[in-house]
Structure 1
Amino acid sequence: MTQPKASQKTSPQIPPKVTGLAHLFAAARYSLGGFQRLIAEAAARQELAIGGAAIILLWVLGAPGMQIGAFSILFLLLLAIEALNTAIEVLTDLVSPEWSQQAKHAKDLGSLAVALLIGANTACFAIILLSLLN
């Protein structure tokens, strides 16, 4: 059997499917891998820093737990949408490495989803701050 040349790519082996408790641990590893990929994105790191600081500020200012909880849920949703946006970008670059209008639309729509949720987070944070000032 001959070895593939350095210029030839070999396909990675598809891992066997796991079930039961092993699947739970595998899913946790996949999620951790996704989080590691997500924080490689500057936008996600910025959102994580600002959102984390906002939660701490709400706690320091004495916001009720329900308000902090609601903001935290909205913030986690922002990170989830950022992860989906990153996945869209990765897949778009894979299937359309050259520029195309459809690829641009896909990336723009993912970016819009993130921007809308940033707006929702900002509005929620402002509403909570205003309620604390009254």
Structure 2
Amino acid sequence: MTHHNSPYKSKGGFGRLFNALRYSAQGFKAAFQHEAAFRQELLLVVILTPLAIWISRSMGEALLLIGTLVFVLIVELLNSALEALADTITLEHHPLIGRAKDLGSAAVMLSIIFCTVTWLCIVGAHILVPVI
């Protein structure tokens, strides 16, 4: 078996770190420009993060609330990457590409459900058992 090194892989060092940061920034920019769902979820993160800090009774609670929001963004980015890659293969209907896209969508839905249930449990606990 022949191994081919990708010309896009860096060798390491500060150049690698700089390139990783640059590629990440390009990814965020692409997601913001081309993905309506990412923009909507990012807006919720911007709105809910200060709320999470305000309502949290501990650092752990705040991190859990904010972490679930970030988790939704991560899954959305991965789903968007999968969809972009699938669309470069073909725009015509293909059952396996359709399945891959559906699986990515299901992952986003599960992350949103997890986030919502976490927020409802924590906010509900604050309403039912207020701090005296």
Q: Same fold (TM over 0.5)?
A: yes
Q: Is residue 81–residue 114 contact of structure 1 (8 Å, CA) maintained in 2? A: yes
What is the aligned partner in structure 1 of residue 66 from structure 2? 72
Matched, 1:47 2:41: yes
Q: How many pairs does the alignment contain?
A: 121
Give the 3-state SS of the residue equivalent to 1:97 in structure 2.
coil
| TM-score of the superposed pair, with normalisation by structure 2 | 0.83
Alpha-carbon distance between aligned partners in 1 of 2:49 and 2:122, rounded to the nearest angstrom: 11
What is the aligned partner in structure 2 of residue 35 from structure 1? 28
Structure 1, unmatched stretches of 5+, are: 1-13
What is the aligned partner in structure 1 of residue 96 from structure 2? 102
Q: Structure 1 counterpart of 2:112, which letter?
A: I
RMSD between superposed Cα atoms in Å: 1.7
| TM-score of the superposed pair, with normalisation by structure 1 | 0.81
Give the fraction of aligned pairs with identical amino acids, expressed as a percent. Answer: 31
Q: Is residue 75–residue 121 contact of structure 1 (8 Å, CA) maintained in 2? A: yes
Compute the displacement of 1:51 (Å). 2.5
Structure 1 residue ranges, 4+ long, deviating more than 3 angstroms after superposition: 14-18
More helix by share: 2
Moved more, 84-93 or 62-71: 62-71
Structure 2, unmatched stretches of 5+, are: 1-6
